[in-house]
Amino acid sequence: MSIKIFNTLTRKKEDFKPLDEKEIRMYSCGPTVYYFAHIGNLRAYLFMDNLRRVLKYNGYNLKHVMNITDVGHLVSDADEGEDKMMKAAKRENKNPYEIAEFYMNAFLADIDKLNVDRPEIIARATEHIDVMEEYVKKIIDNGFSYQTEDTVYFDTSKLDKYGMLSNRNVDEQKAGARVEFDSNKKNISDFAIWIKAPENHIMKWDTFFGKAYPGWHLECSAMGYKYLGEQFDIHTGGVDHIPIHHENEIAQSKGFSGKIPANYWMHVEFLQINGGKMSKSLNNLYTLKDLEEKGYEPLVYRMFNFTSNYRAQINFTFDAMDSAKVALNRLREGYLKHSEGLDDIEDSVIKEYEEKFLEAINDDLNMPVAMSVVWDVVKNPVKSKKLQNLLLKFDEVLGLDLKNYQKQENVLPEEIKKLVKERNVARANKNWAESDRIRDVLIEKGYTVKDSKEGTIVEKQ
């Protein structure tokens, strides 16, 4: 069955045709490691993992590269402001290499907890300066750049078209610019590809341009080229990469080889919090650790992300996390229920579930529909090992680690269980006063009580 992918380049859902039938080559823009990833960032890597798993489920092998940006990413994507690593180094009174090491490891630990499969190649920018230098020199030789005293700029006017992903022309970019544009640039869309390091800059290398460092956009182009060649299949990132970072990657690749580097460009939409933006100043920026401290295991956040398609914004609320927690629990219980099965089930029923699931995931990763098939399997009244195995197979895509799930002993003491039962009866009778009273008793006894439309969870505080 063919896989359909929404391609930002053509703004259409297309049948996916790999360059090589056996191995898909793919590049994902990775994190800039100057601080802890927030849960919005992590959505981007859950999407990346979802895509990996769907491709593998379809029988493909992967050669997948993700970069770690540990130098060169200035505070704004459009090359303004300080280097993010240098800024963090000042903030924490460390050197930028220590910052990179620490936050890279924190990031990898987070994605491991979320059961994100690590890409085959994780490429750190600072370990690829030679490839970047080779790449930038060829862009210069091909006549796509100009130099000022301290910067090599990419000259976007040399391209037949700049802006093919976001479909914006240069006038629109001027209108949208937030700051006066750097007067050293010939065109507003030009960008730095190689930058002379100021005296106090710790991350710098001896290069054709003196002591210098690479521009952020150049890193991805050069590392993608090194591992995947001039052209590969899929390039992923967040929607914020469309108007600048990925336009610039395409520009560089055209300047380097004359080609668009990837055939399919996929972008994940943003996570919102309570309908708005996440930000430190609003005090609503959460990390995975914050969620854990609030009693949500990381896989609950993974489950939460399946409630929306990656191309739609998703709204984070703790109510939605509570529902995801109940749902994950229900899936695990359903998985165990089927392991007790003796009755058998027709193969045609299994086949039908499989087809529906495959159709959903191959429709541009339609996870909400795929999950509805999962629930049909869970709820099937016939207990059957075949259904359990089917859930295990689906879990190759879901990544919820069902195979390692063991029945949790119900640790609630009898007295508490009795109160929970009484409260459930009160709720069923819409006797809210009684239900609230019992909840207060439970809280007093040291238990948290969370109601959602999926059910109630009672846990020791």
Contact residues for ligand AMP, defined by CB under 6 A: 29, 31-32, 40-41, 43-44, 237-238, 240-241, 270-271, 278
Distance of CA 111 to the CA centre of its chain: 9
Q: Residue 245 Cβ, how far from Zn ion at the closest point, in Å?
A: 5
Q: Residue 216 Cβ, how far from Zn ion at the closest point, in Å?
A: 7
In sequence order, which residues have a C-beta less than 8 Å from that of residue 107 and are 6 or more positions away?
A: 31, 33, 36, 37, 68
Is residue 228 within 8 Å of residue 27, measured between CB atoms?
yes
371 forms bridges with which residues in the sheet?
none
For residue 258, count other CB atoms closer than 10 A to its CB.
9
Residues 4-33 within binding reach of Zn ion (CB under 5 A): 29
Q: Residue 223 Cβ, how far from Zn ion at the closest point, in Å?
A: 9
Q: Which does 220 bind (CB under 5 to 8 A by kind): Zn ion, ligand AMP, none?
A: Zn ion
Of 263 and 384, the one with the shorter C-beta distance to Zn ion is 263
Of 88 and 262, the one with the shorter C-beta distance to Zn ion is 262
Q: Which does 236 bind (CB under 5 to 8 A by kind): Zn ion, ligand AMP, none?
A: none
Q: Which does 278 bind (CB under 5 to 8 A by kind): ligand AMP, Zn ion, none?
A: ligand AMP
Is residue 370 within 8 Å of residue 395, measured between CB atoms?
no
Q: Which residue is listed with tokens 């399997």?
A: 377
Q: Which residue is at the shortest CB distance from ligand AMP?
A: 238
CA pair distance 306, 47, nearest whole angstrom: 10
Structure token pair of residue 439: 């909840």
Q: Residue 334 Cβ, how far from ligand AMP at the closest point, in Å?
A: 30
Containing 351, the helix (H) or strand (E) segment is: helix 347-361
Q: Residue 320 Cβ, how far from ligand AMP at the closest point, in Å?
A: 15
Q: Residue 238 Cβ, how far from ligand AMP at the closest point, in Å?
A: 2
The answer to whether residue 218 forms part of the interface with Zn ion (CB under 5 A) is no
Of 88 and 220, the one with the shorter C-beta distance to Zn ion is 220
The answer to whether residue 220 forms part of the interface with Zn ion (CB under 5 A) is yes
Q: Which does 41 bind (CB under 5 to 8 A by kind): ligand AMP, Zn ion, none?
A: ligand AMP
Q: Which does 365 bind (CB under 5 to 8 A by kind): ligand AMP, Zn ion, none?
A: none
CA pair distance 68, 64, nearest whole angstrom: 13
Q: Which residue is listed with tokens 């993700």?
A: 66
Of 41 and 388, the one with the shorter C-beta distance to ligand AMP is 41
Of 66 and 377, the one with the shorter C-beta distance to ligand AMP is 66
CA pair distance 55, 225, nearest whole angstrom: 22
Of 123 and 370, the one with the shorter C-beta distance to Zn ion is 123
3-state SS assignment for residue 69: strand
Q: Residue 255 Cβ, how far from ligand AMP at the closest point, in Å?
A: 23
CA pair distance 277, 310, nearest whole angstrom: 17
Q: Residue 237 Cβ, how far from ligand AMP at the closest point, in Å?
A: 5
Q: Hey, what long-range contacts does 104-108 have (CB within 8 A, 24 or more apart)?
A: 104/31, 104/33, 104/68, 104/70, 106/36, 106/37, 107/31, 107/33, 107/36, 107/37, 107/68
The answer to whether residue 223 forms part of the interface with Zn ion (CB under 5 A) is no
Q: Which does 43 bind (CB under 5 to 8 A by kind): ligand AMP, Zn ion, none?
A: ligand AMP
Q: Residue 262 Cβ, how far from ligand AMP at the closest point, in Å?
A: 15
Of 18 and 261, the one with the shorter C-beta distance to ligand AMP is 261
Sign of CA dihedral 60, 63, 69, 74: negative
Of 249 and 395, the one with the shorter C-beta distance to ligand AMP is 249
The one segment of 77-85, 147-155, 215-223, 400-408 that binds Zn ion by CB under 5 A? 215-223
Q: Which does 163 bind (CB under 5 to 8 A by kind): ligand AMP, Zn ion, none?
A: none
Q: Which residue is listed with tokens 């090359």?
A: 79
Strands, E assignment, 150-299: 151-154, 191-196, 205-207, 210-214, 232-238, 262-268, 271-273
| Of 101, 80, 95, 115, the residue nearest 204 (C-alpha) | 95
Q: Which residues bind Zn ion (CB under 5 A)?
A: 29, 220
